[in-house]
């Protein structure tokens, strides 16, 4: 849910939600199995799709699973 106080127009709120869902679908295999809530803290400066998607991708990247450590003895 995107609050009306940050984005007044429904099409802007829907844009943010669509971008978030798309980013999640692309990164789902690499994410930890947890519930995620994406919430706006402030009104975005603009509705640049590329910039919004990059911000959402960066947030999801912080939640990625750590790379699997190689098994076996290094010696």
Task: Tell me if 74 is assigned to some domain.
Answer: no
Distance of CA 31 to the CA centre of its chain: 11
Mean pLDDT for 41-56 is: 88
Residue 20 lies in a domain: yes
Task: Choose between 72 and 19: higher pLDDT.
Answer: 19
CA 58 – CA 16 distance, rounded (Å): 15
User: What does pTM read for this prediction?
Assistant: 0.77
Are 52 and 18 a contacting pair, CB within 8 Å? no
Total domain count, the chain: 1
- Is 70 among the domain residues? no
Q: 4 lies in a domain?
A: no
- Note whether residue 73 is domain-resident: no
Separation between Cα atoms, residue 67 and residue 58, nearest integer Å = 17
Q: What percent of the chain has pLDDT over 90?
A: 47
Whether 25 is covered by a domain: the verdict is yes
Contact between 16 and 40 under an 8 Å Cβ cutoff? The reply is yes
pLDDT at 72: 55
At 24 the pLDDT is 94
User: Residue 33 belongs to what H/E stretch?
Assistant: none
Does 19 map to a domain? yes
Domain encompassing residue 30: 10-61
Give tens-digit pLDDT for 53-74. Answer: 999 999 999 888 766 555 555 5
């Amino acid at each position: 849910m995107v609050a009306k106080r940050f984005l007044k127009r429904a099409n802007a709120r829907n844009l943010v939600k669509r971008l978030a869902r798309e980013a999640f679908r692309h990164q789902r295999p690499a994410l930890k199995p947890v519930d995620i809530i994406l919430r706006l803290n402030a009104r975005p400066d603009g509705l640049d799709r590329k910039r919004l998607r990059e911000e959402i991708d960066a947030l999801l990247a912080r939640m990625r699973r750590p790379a699997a450590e190689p098994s076996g003895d290094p010696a």
